[in-house]
Structure 1
C-alpha cells in the first residue's frame, strides 16, 4: 500500500472520530491504533458515473437523466459542459433512492371495490333485458311505443 494514502486515511479517521482519551487528545499511538482498528474508508468516496448508476438501477442512461430532471436523483455536476451536464452520483444518494422507491405489493383475494363484486355491469344488464321472459326486443319496443301513444292521448 502507498504510505501517503495510509497517512491520509489515518488523519481523516482522526479528524472525524473521537480520541481514546478525550482529555489527552489524539496521540500518535491512538491514530495508529485507530487506523489498524478499522479506518477502511477513503477520505472522499468515489462518485459513480451515469452508466454505473444505470447499471446499478437496471435502467437506461436516458431514464437516469429523466430521474435527475424530475428531481428524483441528486447529482454532482462535473466538467464544464454548457449544453449537457456531466453528472456524477454519490453512492449514498443511490442507496437513498432505492430505499425511497422500494415497495412491497400484497395480493388481495377480495374485490377492490363494489364494482367488481356483486353489482352487475351495463352490458350484463343489457343482455339480461334482451333475454328476459318479457319477449324479444321488438315486443318490448312495441309495448313502449303503445304506452307512449296512450300517454300522448291523455
Structure 2
C-alpha cells in the first residue's frame, strides 16, 4: 500500500517540474521518477513562521518586523488579512540574509583602542624614547651627570 503523504509529495513534484521530454509529455517512467523524487523531498520547501525565523536568526520577533519594514528580509504574505499580515519566510531567503550579513573583521592592532590603551604614549614609552633620543643609554647619561656634578664642585 502506498503512503498518501508520499503520493501527495510525488504529485506536487510532478506539478512543479517539467517532463523529461516536453514534446511527448508525461510518460509512465517520468511519473515513476517524479514519485521517487517526491518521496525524497517536496518540490516547494516549507515556509518558516515568524517565531521560527526569529529562532533561526537568534533575534526577537520585533527585530524580524524591523528587518521586514526596512526591506532587509523578504517575506511571503500568508493569510487573508491586510492590516495584520501573517508573515512567513522562505528558508532560502533566511540563508541569503545570513550570507549577506556575514562579515569578518580584522584589526592591525594587537589591542583595542580604548581609553586605557589609547594612542597616547605611556610613561615608560616616553622614558625609553627620551633615553634613546639623547644619544646614549642609561649609563652614558649617568656618567654625563656625574661629570657635570664634579665640574660643578670644582
TM range (shorter): 0.5 to 0.7
User: Residues 34-113 of structure 1: matches in 2 within 5 Å?
Assistant: 35-36=35-36, 40-109=40-109
2:29 alignment partner in structure 1: 29
The 1:23/1:86 distance shift into structure 2, 3 A limit, reads: closer
2: CA distance, partners of 1:110 / 1:7: 58
The partner residue of 1:4 within 7, 14, 19 is: 7
2:115 alignment partner in structure 1: none
Return the offset for 1:57. 0.2
The 1:108/1:9 distance shift into structure 2, 3 A limit, reads: same
What is the number of residues matched between the two proteins? 115
Where does the alignment leave 5 or more consecutive residues of structure 2 unmatched? 113-117, 122-154
On the 8 A contact 1:74/1:93 being kept in 2, the answer is yes
Return the offset for 1:118. 7.2
| Residue 15 (str. 1) matches residue 18 (str. 2) | yes
The 1:118/1:111 distance shift into structure 2, 3 A limit, reads: farther
| TM-score, normalising length: structure 1 | 0.58
On the 8 A contact 1:78/1:85 being kept in 2, the answer is yes
On the 8 A contact 2:10/2:34 being kept in 1, the answer is no
The 1:46/1:111 distance shift into structure 2, 3 A limit, reads: closer
| TM-score, normalising length: structure 2 | 0.58
2: CA distance, partners of 1:37 / 1:69: 38
1: CA distance, partners of 2:12 / 2:82: 35
Secondary structure of the 1:15 match is coil
The 1:104/1:40 distance shift into structure 2, 3 A limit, reads: same
